[in-house]
Structure 1
Amino acid sequence: MKEFIQEWKELFSKKWLADDLFAGIIVACVAIPLSLAIALASNVPPEAGIISAIVAGIVCALFGSSKLAVSGPAAAMAVLIATAVQKFGLSSLYIIGIGCGILQLATGIFRLGFLIRLIPMPVIAGFTAGIGAIILISQFPRILGLPPIADSHLTDVILYINHSANQIKWPAFWLAALTITITFALPRLLPRFPASLVAIITAALIPWLFNIPIETIGNIPKPFESLILPSFSIDAATIELLADILLVYMLASLETLLSSSAIDKMTRTKPYHPDRELIGQGLGNIASALFGGIPVTSVIARSALNVQAGAKTRRAAIFHAMFLLIAVYFLASQISLIPIAALAGILISVALRMCHPREFLEFWHTSHSEAFIYLVTFIVIISADLLAGVQIGIAAALIIALLRLAYVKTTVHQESDRPTALCIDGPLTFLSVTRLDSMIAELTPVDLEHGVIFDLSRVPLADTSGATHLIQIIEQLEAKSIRIALQGVKLSCRKILLSIKSHTDIARLIATDEAELLEILHLDKHLILNRLSYGVETFKKHHRHAYKFLFKKLAREQNPHTFFITCSDSRINPNLITSTAPGELFVLRNVGNIIPTCHTSSTYGESAAIEFALGLLNVKEIVICAHSGCGAIKELITGTIFNPENQLRFPGIANWLKTLYAIRDEFPAQVTPEQAAKLNALFQMEQLKTYPLVQEKLNAKAVRIRIWYYDIGKAELEEWDEQENMFIVIGSEEFRALERRMQSGSQYQSPVIPD
C-alpha cells in the first residue's frame, strides 16, 4: 500500500501536467469510436463500451503497475462477450466481469502471474486471429445495412446476405468502405491525426449534410445515472458460465501482460510487475461490472498511442477517462449521429489487423510446428467455437512438445581397429527406448569387437525408464564379452544411472577423461589420435552450426576484451572456466605463467603477445591466472630441476625457471605450493609493469590488471584484493565489494605478499 500512496502523490504534482493532459485528449479521441465499435461487436448497448473505458481508465490506472498503460474494452474480447450475451443474456456480463476480476485478483495476490505466460504464443496468436476473422465475418451484414445474424459462420453469413440481397442499403456499404479507407490511409499520410476519430466524424457528417437515410447508434443514455445491480442466482446456467469466465480471464490477463511488456520496451523505464498489474486489472473488471460495463484489459494500441503522445505518468489514462465522461455528457447528440455501418467499418479495420497473415508467415519461417499450432487453433475457432480452439491448440502444442522431448538422434562413429562410438543426442527417457534399440540393432559383430563407447555428452536429462533401458543394453553387450565405456555423463544422468540396480558396476564404466576411457577399454595410448578425430567430427556435426554467425564475424576480425595469461597446464581451459566464447580472450600460455622482464632486445614471444594485445587489439583487462598443482612451482620449490643432471637433460625448463629465482628467495621456510603459486602470480604482475606500453595504459586508466588463482580440485577461482591483502573467491560477497571498488576506479598497487 505504501508503494501505491507514493505513486499517487504524482497525481497532484504540476510536473508533466501539460504532457499528460495532451496525451489524455489524444487517447480519448481514439477511445470513443473504438469503445462504441467494440460494444457493437459485443452485442451490448453503446454506453456499456463507454462505461468500461471510463471505469477501467481510472481504476486500472490507479492500481496497476504499468504507469502508461491504458485499459478499456478490447476487440479481442468482443466475440467472447457476444457469445455469452447470446447464450445467457446481458445479465451474464455482471457475473463474468466479477468472476474474471476475482480470478485476476487472486492470481496477483498469490503471485501466480507467471502461469498466465505458460500458454504457447502460437495458440495466443491463432486465437487472436480467429477472433479477428469472426469479427470480420459478423460485420459483413452491418456494412451492407442489414441486421446482424446470431450465427457468424462464413457460410451462414454468405447465405443470409444472398437471401437478403434486395434489402441491401448501398449508402451504408460506401460509408463503411470510406471508414475503412480513412482508417488505413490516414496514418500513412498524417500519422499524428487519430484516424478512427476522423473516419467516424467523416462518416457521420456525410449523411447529415446530404440528408442520406442511414441507421445510427441513436441516443446514448447518460452513464452512471441509473445504476441498478442485476439480480442473479446460482443455477445450472451460472455453472455453464464458468467456462466463459475462465476464457475471458485467460484472454484478458494475457493481453494485459503482453501489452504491459510491450509498453515497457517502448518506455525503457522501471519494469512493470505482472502480479500487481493483474491486481489492478482485477479491480478494474470488478468495478466495470458493477457499473454495467463489459470486461476490460490493458490495450496495446491505446497504450502505445499514450506513450507516443508524450504521457509521463498514470494521470494521462485518468484524464482520458475524464474526457470520455465529458464527451458522453456534452456531445451525446453528436455521438448519436454515428452510423452503425461506420462503426462496423472500424471493427473490420481492427479485425483485419488481428488476422493479418504476416504473423502466420513469421511462425512458418521460424518453426513449421508452431505455424501448425497457429493454424489448428485458428481453424477450430472459426469452424467450431472459441473454447474448443484454445483447448485443441494447447493440446497440439503439448503433443509437439512431447514429440520434441521424445526425439533422440543417434550417431555411430566407426574406424577400423577402433572402438565404436555411439553418440546419443537428446533426452534419455522412456520415449527414446525404441530409438536406442534400433541403433543397437544396426550394429554388426565387427562393429562391436573392439568395444563400444556410449557418448552421453549431449544427453541433457534422463529418467528411470530411459536409464534402465540403457543399462539393460550394456548388460546384454557385456554378456557377449564386449567392452563398454561411458563418457560425457552429466551429474544428473550419473545419479540416475548409479541409482538403478544392475549386475554391472556402472560406476566402473564411467570415464571422466581420455586416460580413464583407455583404461576401461584396456586400450593403448595410440587411441588418443582417434579421440581427436572423433572430437573434430563431433564438433562439425553438433557444435559448428551453433557458432555459425560467430565464426562469420570472427573470420573478419578479432576483438578480444581480455588478455589472459596462464600456465600451459592441460587442466586449465580459460574459455571453460570463464564461460567465454571464441574471440573474447587473447591467450598467452607458458610453463608457470611467467612474464620475463622487459628488454628492448628481447625476442621472447611473451613480449610480442603483450604488445599485440595492448597496442593493436586494445584489450581492456589483463588477467594473470596461477593454479593449484603447478608443476613449474613444484620444481621451483624443490629445486631438483637445477641440479647438474637435470640442467643437462632439461636445459629449456631450467633456464626458463631461473627467471623465478628472485621470488624463490622470498618464500617462507615452510611455503606451500598454493602460497608459492599465488606469490608467483603477484610477482608476474610486477614483471608485467616493466613494459612501457603496460605503464602507459595503466596511467591512462585504459586497462586494469587482475590476479587470479584457479583451484583445480574445487573448480573455483580466487582474485587478489590489494586492500584486504588476500585472495577472495570470485562470486562471494567479499568479491562483489572488490568489484565495486574496481568499478569506482581503484587500481592495483604494489602488492604486500602474505607470509
Structure 2
Amino acid sequence: MSPSRAASAAVRTGTEAVRRLLPRRADYAGLRRSWRSDVLAGITVGVVALPLALAFGISSGVGAAAGLITAVVAGLIAAIFGGSNVQVSGPTGAMAVILAPIVAEHGISSLALVTVLAGILVLLLGIFRLGRAVTLIPWPVIEGFTLGIAAIIFLQQVPAAFGVDTPAGMRTLPAALHVVTTADWSLAVRTLAVVAAVALLMIVLPRIRAGFPASLAAVVVVTVVVQFASVPVPRIGALPTELSTPALPNFDPVMVQSLAGAALAIAVLAAIESLLSARVAASMAPTGPYDPDRELTGQGLASVASGLFGGMPATGAIARTAVNVRSGARTRVAAVTHSLLLLGVVYLATGPVAAIPLAALSGVLMVTSFRMVSATTIRQILRSTRSDALIFVVTAVVTVCFDLIEAVQIGILIAALLALRGVAGRSTVEREELPGEHHRGDERIALYRLDGSMFFGAADRLATGIADQAHAADADVVIIAMSRLGMLDATGANSLAQLVQQLEARGLTVLIKGVRPEHRALLDRVGVLDSLRHPNHLLDSLDAAVAHARSHVARLRTGAPGTSDS
C-alpha cells in the first residue's frame, strides 16, 4: 500500500473511531412513541436522586451543593455522551467513600483539580477502547466490593446520626466507634430520632404503594415536623441559587503530582462502577446493548464538566438507573429530564432544601446501604466454592478496613492465583500403554501424555514428573504426547526443552508427538526442537511415534548402526 493510501486509511479509521464515540440520531430511536414515559421516568428518578445527591455530597466532605451540581451537570453530559440509553449518572456512595479521605488530606480546594484529572483519565480509557476490561473482574470481587462500600456508607453516617462532626484524621470504622463510645446522649437522642423516623418511613411507604418515592417523602415529612417543632438539629444550610460560571482549576505541577494517585483511584472506581451499572441496565431494559467505550468517554466528559462547575466526580448510579428503567425509560430523554428537574431545584427551591436536617440524609443513606446488599447473593457466593467465598470475604474486609482500590486489586490477585492453582492442578502427565498388540521390547518404551496446560504454574511439576517416571521405568525411548495440551507458554516450552536435554543426556531417546500448530513456533523459538537428537523425532501421529520407537529399541537390542539419527 502506498504511503498516501495508508495515510487515508488511517484518517478514515480515526474518523470512524471518533464518530463511534459521539452522540447520534439512533440514540433517540422510538422517541415519538416513548417520550411521555421517558419524561415521567425522568421526573421519578429526579425525585429519588435529590436526597441522594445532597447526602452523597455531604458524606464525601465537599458539601450538599457539590452533590447537587454533580447530579445536574454530570448527569446531563453523561446522558448525552454515554454509551447507555437508560443510564443515570451522578454522585454515588462509592465515590463519596473514596473522595472523603482525599478531601480531608488535600482540602476542599483540591476537589476541582482531582475531579478534572480523574475525568480526563476515564476519557482516555474510553478513547483507547478499554471498556471491556471490567469483564475481567470476578463476580465475588464485585460483590465483596459492594458489600464493603455499603458498610462504609453506613459507618460514615454515624457521626451525623449522633449530631457531631466526623473526627479528623480517623478512618471510617474507628471514627464511628469513637463517636458511639463518646456520645452525648442528651443531644444524640434528637438526631437519632430523626434517623429512625426517616428509616421507618422509607421501609413502610413502599409497602403501602409500590414505586412511591419514599426517600424524598420521608425527608419532606421529617423536615416539616422538625421545622414546626423547632427541634434543634444541624441542617444542610445555604445552597447556591444558580450554577456558577465554569472555571478551569489551577493546574499547579506540585498539586497535580500530589493528586495523581488519588485521581487514578477515582478514575478506576468511576470506570468500574459506571460499566457495571450500564451492564445491569442492559440486562433490565429492552433498549439493546450498551457501548462500554462510549460509556467511559461520556463518564469522563461528565466528570470534567462537573469539576469545571465545582462538582465532584460522577459515575453511573445502579440504584437510580434501576429506578429509571422500572419507571419506563427507553431513551436518554429520561436521564436528561432527571438532570433538568434537579436544575430547577437549584434555581427555584434551594430555600426549603437548606432546612433539611443532616440526620435525615444520614437516615436515607443508612437505609440505602442496607438495600445495596443482597442476602441471596451473599449466600450464593458463600455456598459456591471455598475459593470464591475467600475472595468475597477478603475483598469486603479490605474495602472496609483499608482502601477501595486496594480491595479490588487484592481481590483480583487472589482470584487470579486461585484460578491459576486450579488450572495447574488440572494439568497432568500420565503414562499410557502402547496401542495395539504387545511387541518384544515395548517395556523399554515409555509413553507419557501431557493433558491440560503447561504454563509457569505447572511446567516444573509436569517436567519433573516425566523425568522421574522415565528414570524409574528404566526406559530407552520416551514418547511425549502433546496433542491434548491446551495451553503452552514460554516457561512451559523452556521446561520441555530442559527435560529433553536431561533425558537425552541420560542416553534416552526422546520422541515428541502431536504438537499443535499454534505451539510449533514457540517450541522452535525456545529450542525444544533443537534439543531433539534428530528432526525425525518430531512426529504427527501416535502410530508413527510408536513404530519409530520400536525400530529404535530393536536396533539397540541387536546392536545395529543408525541409533543416533533414527
> Into which bin does the TM-score normalised by the smaller protein fall?
0.7 to 0.9
CA distance in 2: counterparts of 1:9 and 1:66, whole angstroms: 11
CA spacing shift, 1:15–1:479, aligned 2, 3 Å: closer
CA spacing shift, 1:440–1:16, aligned 2, 3 Å: closer
CA distance in 1: counterparts of 2:216 and 2:38, whole angstroms: 20
Answer yes or no: is 1:216 the counterpart of 2:235. Answer: yes
Q: CA deviation at 1:76?
A: 0.9
Question: Residue type matched to 2:217 in 1?
Answer: V
Aligned partner (choices 139, 148, 160) of residue 130 of structure 1 = 148
CA spacing shift, 1:67–1:465, aligned 2, 3 Å: closer
CA distance in 2: counterparts of 1:169 and 1:465, whole angstroms: 63
CA distance in 1: counterparts of 2:135 and 2:522, whole angstroms: 32
Q: CA deviation at 1:455?
A: 3.1
Aligned partner (choices 348, 359, 371) of residue 366 of structure 2 = 348
Partner of residue 272, structure 2: 254
Q: Deviations over 1:460-511 (max 9, x none)?
A: 2323443343244345445656565444432222333344253534653344
Partner of residue 6, structure 2: none
CA distance in 2: counterparts of 1:5 and 1:481, whole angstroms: 71
What is the root-mean-square deviation of aligned Cα atoms in Å? Answer: 3.3
Residue 502 of structure 1 aligns to a residue whose secondary structure is helix
Partner of residue 239, structure 1: 257
Aligned length: 522
Residue 458 of structure 2 aligns to a residue whose secondary structure is helix
Partner of residue 465, structure 2: 439
Aligned partner (choices 216, 223, 232) of residue 197 of structure 1 = 216
- Whether the 8 Å contact between 2:113 and 2:251 is mirrored in structure 1 is no
Question: Residue type matched to 1:494 in 2?
Answer: R
Question: Residue type matched to 2:466 in 1?
Answer: I
Q: CA deviation at 1:277?
A: 1.9
Q: How does 1:513-528 map to 2 (within 5 A)?
A: 513-522=541-550
CA spacing shift, 1:187–1:521, aligned 2, 3 Å: farther
Aligned partner (choices 47, 69, 88) of residue 87 of structure 2 = 69
Aligned partner (choices 185, 188, 192) of residue 169 of structure 1 = 188
CA distance in 1: counterparts of 2:24 and 2:249, whole angstroms: 35
CA distance in 1: counterparts of 2:27 and 2:432, whole angstroms: 71
Answer yes or no: is 1:159 the counterpart of 2:178. Answer: yes
Partner of residue 537, structure 2: 509
Aligned partner (choices 65, 70, 86) of residue 52 of structure 1 = 70
Partner of residue 499, structure 2: 473
CA spacing shift, 1:430–1:83, aligned 2, 3 Å: closer
- Whether the 8 Å contact between 1:138 and 1:152 is mirrored in structure 2 is no
- Whether the 8 Å contact between 2:427 and 2:458 is mirrored in structure 1 is no
Partner of residue 456, structure 1: 482
Q: Which has more radius of gyration?
A: 1
CA distance in 1: counterparts of 2:206 and 2:473, whole angstroms: 69
Partner of residue 557, structure 2: none
Q: Structure 2: state its 5+ residue gaps.
A: 1-18, 552-566
Aligned partner (choices 14, 23, 28) of residue 46 of structure 2 = 28
Q: Deviations over 1:47-75 (max 9, x none)?
A: 21111111122222222221221111111
Moved over 6 A (4+): 8-11
Aligned partner (choices 398, 401, 413) of residue 383 of structure 1 = 401
Partner of residue 111, structure 2: 93
Q: CA deviation at 1:122?
A: 4.3
Partner of residue 368, structure 1: 386
Q: CA deviation at 1:42?
A: 0.9
CA distance in 2: counterparts of 1:480 and 1:98, whole angstroms: 66
Question: Residue type matched to 2:145 in 1?
Answer: F
Residue 86 of structure 2 aligns to a residue whose secondary structure is coil
CA spacing shift, 1:470–1:186, aligned 2, 3 Å: same
Answer yes or no: is 1:495 the counterpart of 2:521. Answer: yes
Answer yes or no: is 1:326 the counterpart of 2:344. Answer: yes
Q: Structure 1: state its 5+ residue gaps.
A: 524-755
- Whether the 8 Å contact between 2:500 and 2:531 is mirrored in structure 1 is no
Residue 232 of structure 1 aligns to a residue whose secondary structure is coil
Q: Deviations over 1:663-697 (max 9, x none)?
A: xxxxxxxxxxxxxxxxxxxxxxxxxxxxxxxxxxx
CA spacing shift, 1:461–1:227, aligned 2, 3 Å: same
- Whether the 8 Å contact between 2:460 and 2:495 is mirrored in structure 1 is no
CA distance in 2: counterparts of 1:148 and 1:271, whole angstroms: 42
- Whether the 8 Å contact between 1:410 and 1:422 is mirrored in structure 2 is no
Residue 118 of structure 2 aligns to a residue whose secondary structure is helix
Residue 425 of structure 1 aligns to a residue whose secondary structure is strand
CA spacing shift, 1:156–1:521, aligned 2, 3 Å: same
CA spacing shift, 1:314–1:228, aligned 2, 3 Å: closer
Question: Residue type matched to 1:97 in 2?
Answer: T
CA distance in 2: counterparts of 1:463 and 1:488, whole angstroms: 17
- Whether the 8 Å contact between 2:85 and 2:287 is mirrored in structure 1 is no
CA spacing shift, 1:189–1:455, aligned 2, 3 Å: farther
Answer yes or no: is 1:281 the counterpart of 2:299. Answer: yes
Which has a greater percent of helix? 2
Q: How does 1:611-622 map to 2 (within 5 A)?
A: none
CA distance in 2: counterparts of 1:46 and 1:277, whole angstroms: 26
CA spacing shift, 1:153–1:321, aligned 2, 3 Å: closer
CA spacing shift, 1:362–1:267, aligned 2, 3 Å: same
Answer yes or no: is 1:139 the counterpart of 2:139. Answer: no
CA spacing shift, 1:167–1:307, aligned 2, 3 Å: same
CA spacing shift, 1:144–1:486, aligned 2, 3 Å: same
TM-score for the superposition, normalised by structure 1: 0.63
Residue 443 of structure 1 aligns to a residue whose secondary structure is helix
Residue 426 of structure 1 aligns to a residue whose secondary structure is strand
Question: Residue type matched to 1:502 in 2?
Answer: D
CA distance in 1: counterparts of 2:298 and 2:531, whole angstroms: 61
- Whether the 8 Å contact between 1:407 and 1:426 is mirrored in structure 2 is no
CA spacing shift, 1:469–1:253, aligned 2, 3 Å: closer
Question: Residue type matched to 2:234 in 1?
Answer: E
Q: CA deviation at 1:77?
A: 0.3
- Whether the 8 Å contact between 1:229 and 1:290 is mirrored in structure 2 is yes
Residue 460 of structure 1 aligns to a residue whose secondary structure is strand
Question: Residue type matched to 2:192 in 1?
Answer: F
CA distance in 1: counterparts of 2:410 and 2:220, whole angstroms: 42
